[in-house]
Amino acid sequence: TPNLPRRPILELPDELISQIAAGEVVERPASVVRELVDNALDAGATQITLRLLAGGVRLISVEDNGSGILRAELPTALKRHATSKIASLGDLESVGTMGFRGEALAAICSIAEVSLLTRVDTDEEPHGWLLDGRSGELQPTARAPGTTVEVRELFFATPARRKFLKTDATELAHCVEAMRRHALARPDVGFAIWHEGKLSAQWRAVPGGGMTALRQRLSDVLGEDFIAQAVAVEWPSPDAEPLEYEGQRLRIWGFAGVPDAARSRNDWQFAYVNGRYVRDKTITHAARSAYEDVLHGHRQPVYALFISLDPARVDVNVHPTKIEVRFRDGREVHQGVRRAVESALAAPRAGSAQDGST
């Protein structure tokens, strides 16, 4: 082995630590969109507006009508490992918010120009505040309660990353996809996407809730065709015997496309665990296996499946982007998803050609 010269062990400067962390969290504009929308949802927003310039490379702005941030806490919000969402290991084990790592804003600040405009939704402060991420300068401003985070010139400080970006159209498509994933999970929240000053998508908040609201949101986001060719998944079935540990039990619901609706790509497979969009092999495999007798070749089923289980039975702190989870009992989840989808596909559909009534 070559004799490498001995170099001293040094602690990295804060800025560089954040830039390294940003490499894990922010791959492209869509990653920023996901983090900012997570924050808006955690703040209780009911309306979220995304504005983009040049596919998000020039500007990503996320405006919400959530709780806002107190002036005194504003500088802390941009710091590394600063969060209002957990305070202890116990909190981490039962985390119910999208965020908890306290990393996103700091990471984004280290690789872009960030400004934050916010006003709390209480009488505590009579106006809003504008915080410049770079200088830390604070200015009073007018605004309705809520928060707008503006991110400009993404990767200006890390040109190597910038080179990996695709065309504006491709980056825009990824941003829209990030919004879709959020929108499917929250029919109760209104979403709008503007690109280059033009409205490119709008999904209005759906009143009510449950399967009816989900059906409407799926139709708005994925199109009427998706829902026309899908069956409702509800497991255990609504008329199953309630169990003692009802609140803790594994529940699976959503919509799954009939075999005919399958696609050549797996781009319409949405899976959520406790409200969080995930990419998980156990779920993908279980869902695919439910189609094993009815779907042949490489065709990909379409579905939007929501899984809820006791937060103590799933670890969300596996990956910085939280897109991966680890189940304590993967077999239970696999069996549940498979049975849920299988029984939905087997049930006769009212008014469909399959039940022989037409």
Which residues lie across from 60 on neighbouring strands?
52, 151
> Which window, 13-21, 83-91, 224-232, 238-246, contacts ligand ADP (CB under 6 A)?
83-91
Comparing CB distances to Mg ion, the nearer of 85 and 143 is 85
236 cis-preceded (ω within 30 degrees of 0): yes
Pair 331, 281: CB distance under 8 Å: no
Residues 6 or more apart whose CB falls under 8 angstroms from that of 238 comprise none
Q: From the CB of 251, what's the least distance to ligand ADP, in Å?
A: 26
Q: From the CB of 275, what's the least distance to ligand ADP, in Å?
A: 14
Cα(292)–Cα(163) distance, integer angstroms: 42
Comparing CB distances to Mg ion, the nearer of 259 and 320 is 320
The string over 231-249, giving b where at least 16 C-beta atoms fall within 10 Å of a residue's C-beta and e elsewhere, is bbbbbbeeeeeeeeeeeee
Pair 7, 30: CB distance under 8 Å: no
- Enumerate residues 97-126 that contact Mg ion by CB under 5 A: 99, 104
> Which window, 77-85, 218-226, 240-248, 323-331, contacts ligand ADP (CB under 6 A)?
77-85
CB atoms inside a 10 Å sphere around CB 55: 25
Residue among 269, 283, 264, 298 at smallest CA distance from 340? 283
Pair 110, 100: CB distance under 8 Å: no
Fill in the per-residue mask, 234 to 273: x = in contact with Mg ion (CB under 5 A), - = not in contact. Answer: ----------------------------------------
83 binds ligand ADP (CB under 6 A): yes
66 binds ligand ADP (CB under 6 A): yes
> Which window, 32-40, 267-275, 307-315, 327-335, contacts Mg ion (CB under 5 A)?
32-40
185 binds ligand ADP (CB under 6 A): no
- Enumerate residues 109-148 that contact ligand ADP by CB under 6 A: 147
Cα(135)–Cα(141) distance, integer angstroms: 17
282 binds Mg ion (CB under 5 A): no
How big is the site for ligand ADP, counted in residues (CB under 6 A)? 23
Residues that bind Mg ion in the complex, under the rule CB under 5 A: 38-39, 99, 104
Residues at the site binding ligand ADP, with contacts judged by CB under 6 A: 35, 39-40, 43, 64, 66-69, 77, 82-85, 99-106, 147
